[in-house]
Structure 1
């Protein structure tokens, strides 16, 4: 897709992969609508922040309407917002479990549901879902988070088949350990320099977007080469 001048919506833009994705899409000449509960420090005439809780259907509808009225139709949606809570299945707090599904799964659905009609009308679009290698296997003490990311895998694989004939691509990216704040409350790992950089995940997003119209990157699994240094 030719990206210059087109609109991208990116969720979860305050830090980490979302922040770096905003930066790299701006550098590629896109207009970016950042959706998140918290903004970042980017100051760019082509960056527009819309305070959004993706877990709240009414809030997402309001942000979608405001974005469309101010910036037009989005050609790209990057579903990045997400979080994980660690815990054994029998000790997991019910509210934490529900919150993960509300953000990681329902939020992705809400944003995608509202973006797709405009992409169908334009006969062009690209949805990128930031999943995790937790979307491909089990992880002890992370069953809730893993469950949400397996859901993202299934949704992505299903909707690319629904949307491909409308000229819309759906790509799911499965990062391994990445140096972000995700690990702040995870007991078995700490963010460190041997993990992947969030800007490299953002570069992977850009690479998928820049492909030929008839070239569809469906799944991308990325891992650190030397996770222990």
Structure 2
């Protein structure tokens, strides 16, 4: 896909992978709508921020209509990045923690995708990138709730790409290993460090997928630090 002047939506843009992805897409000439609770410190004529709670369908609908009204074109790119996780053995997880993870990590992906998909089909060339996790491929002790949500993103992605491939819409699911972001602020067993991947690394993978030939489709991509312990 040629990225210049394409409308891209990125969720969870205040920091980390979301912010790095916004910056990478702006460098490529995209018109970028950031959907999130907190605006990033990005000053760019092609960046539009819409305060959005991806857990709330009405909030997502408002962000979508605001994007279309502000930019004036259908969305060609959606990066479902917003997500969170709580650590704890199953009996330690509260109902609110479990529900919050599913509302954000799963319902949010569904709500955002459902809003942009009809327009993408009309365009005949579009791309949805879903950020899962290594936790979406294997169980991790003390992370059963988070793993459950990321396995759900995996299943959603693999089903959706088969639904929409003939409409010219690609769906790619990326499974990052450890990335140095604020995600680990709430994970006591892991401390973010310089041996982890950087948000810009994931953003570069996203751009690579988006710029691929129209008939070349990255379905699943697993990425990890080569030397996680330095």
TM-score by length of 1: 0.99
SS at match of 1:174: strand
Distance in 2 separating the partners of 1:50 and 1:185: 26
1:69 alignment partner in structure 2? 69
Report deviation, 1:153. Answer: 0.2
Distance in 1 separating the partners of 2:48 and 2:66: 11
| Structure 2 portions without partners, runs of 5+ | none
Distance in 1 separating the partners of 2:192 and 2:78: 27
Distance in 2 separating the partners of 1:62 and 1:23: 23
2:155 alignment partner in structure 1? 154
2:37 alignment partner in structure 1? 37
Aligned residues: 229
Distance in 1 separating the partners of 2:114 and 2:5: 23
2:183 alignment partner in structure 1? 182
CA RMSD, aligned part only? 0.5
2:104 alignment partner in structure 1? 103
1:219 alignment partner in structure 2? 220
Verify: 1:80 aligned to 2:81, yes or no. Answer: yes
Verify: 1:59 aligned to 2:53, yes or no. Answer: no
Distance in 2 separating the partners of 1:160 and 1:227: 32
Report deviation, 1:188. Answer: 1.4
Report deviation, 1:45. Answer: 0.1
Report deviation, 1:164. Answer: 0.1
SS at match of 1:65: helix
Report deviation, 1:187. Answer: 1.6
Report deviation, 1:69. Answer: 1.2
Distance in 2 separating the partners of 1:207 and 1:124: 16
SS at match of 1:207: helix
SS at match of 1:217: coil
Report deviation, 1:124. Answer: 1.2
2:48 alignment partner in structure 1? 48
Report deviation, 1:189. Answer: 0.8
Distance in 1 separating the partners of 2:57 and 2:161: 23
How does 1:92-131 map onto structure 2 within 5 Å? 92-131=93-132
Distance in 1 separating the partners of 2:186 and 2:49: 27
SS at match of 1:126: strand
Distance in 2 separating the partners of 1:145 and 1:15: 20
Verify: 1:171 aligned to 2:177, yes or no. Answer: no
Instruction: Flag as ranges the 4+ runs of structure 1 deviating above 6 A.
Output: none
Verify: 1:194 aligned to 2:195, yes or no. Answer: yes
